[in-house]
A and B are shown apart, each in its own frame.
Chain A
């Protein structure tokens, strides 16, 4: 009997430790900059926020990433993007993923509904003024969306990993499944906005896609503490390189 209680308590504690990083009311603000002629130019602000959503039967964790250009850029190239996911607060299994982008006049909306059978996603995609396109496709049981991936990373125990080892995920993006692995490179100290200088887990995104370029050029730095706050994100895409620097973190 006492063994069962011990196992139960251990299970609860492990879950608390694993998922303590993602809670409602968190707000992380990043300054997004892009390299132009070797100099980083501030372009946009990215905000990652979490909140709860209560429906008639369930409670969901609403994970939202929104990006908006700084007002000095709005006249030249206005960006207003929203990426959001509604996931189970404990397992972070997504039920709904939505994407709404407006980039310099180009607009696109996507909605992926993860069906209760766990193996099907129904998608609705709309590009600009074109008619809406509906689709349905099969996914694996562990397939997640790109927003959930960021938060899933924050529940991964990198302290137990050796540099060079990786964790694998399957992402659904652009109506396809993409295998993605995240390689733990090591620890590095970086500036983390209002949190000051923090020792971070340095992680590289490895994906077989033409959207990301270079080896170990797409990096995420998560603070090496219980919160695992993303402090710095570096990306290398076909049109250049840039980075997202944490400026403020609240509600963590």
Chain B
């Protein structure tokens, strides 16, 4: 049972890390919360074992990373020279098309 719980916490912990790396924002908190719950249950059931405590610490660090990213990393749109050129070209073409209609 303890092994099953620690495997579950590890699976959800890894999923949490993957979603933290990917730009899914707070979605990573779902597997992190599950990993935390399973790791916490394991810690209570196996107080003498170090590994469940280690998993708990890693999951908590992951949680702090997600919160930190949400608070401190702002969503920005990169200045895209190619996109700016497309917009300018489109405007020039539009002017010609409109003059062609007149």
Contact = CB atoms under 8 A, between A and B. Distances in A.
Contacts of A62: 91, 94
B94 A53 contact: yes
Interface stretch (B23-31, B41-49, B52-60): B23-31
Nearest to A80: B83
Which 10 A-B residue pairs are closest in the complex by CB-CB distance? Answer: A72-B23, A71-B78, A70-B75, A57-B102, A68-B77, A41-B25, A45-B77, A80-B83, A55-B99, A55-B98
Interface stretch (A95-103, A162-170, A203-211): A95-103
Given A53-B94, A57-B99, 19 more contacts: A31-B75, A37-B30, A39-B27, A41-B26, A45-B75, A55-B95, A57-B102, A60-B98, A66-B87, A68-B80, A70-B76, A71-B76, A72-B75, A82-B87, A84-B90, A86-B98, A96-B97, A100-B86, A100-B90
Contacts of B90: 82, 84, 98, 100
A202 to B, nearest CB: 26
A73 B25 CA distance: 11
Contact-size category for A? 35 or more
B91 A68 contact: no
Interface of A: 31, 36-37, 39, 41-42, 44-45, 53, 55-58, 60, 62, 64, 66, 68-74, 76, 80, 82, 84, 86, 95-96, 98, 100, 111, 113, 115-116
B79 to A, nearest CB: 10
A70 B25 CA distance: 12
Contacts of A31: 75
Interface size class of B (residues with CB under 8 A): 20 to 34
A72 B23 CA distance: 6
A44 B99 CA distance: 34
A72 B73 CA distance: 10
A55 B78 contact: no
Contacts of B50: none
Contacts of B86: 80, 82, 100
14 contacts: A31-B75, A39-B25, A39-B30, A41-B24, A41-B25, A41-B26, A55-B98, A56-B99, A70-B23, A70-B77, A71-B76, A80-B80, A80-B83, A95-B98
B101 interface: yes
Interface of B: 22-27, 30, 73, 75-78, 80, 83, 86-87, 90-91, 94-95, 97-99, 101-102
Nearest to A70: B75
Contact of A53 (B80, B83, B95, B101): B95
B64 to A, nearest CB: 18
A82 B83 CA distance: 9
Contacts of B30: 37, 39
Contacts of A57: 99, 102
A53 B102 CA distance: 14
A126 to B, nearest CB: 13
A233 to B, nearest CB: 18
A96 B76 contact: no
Contacts of A60: 98
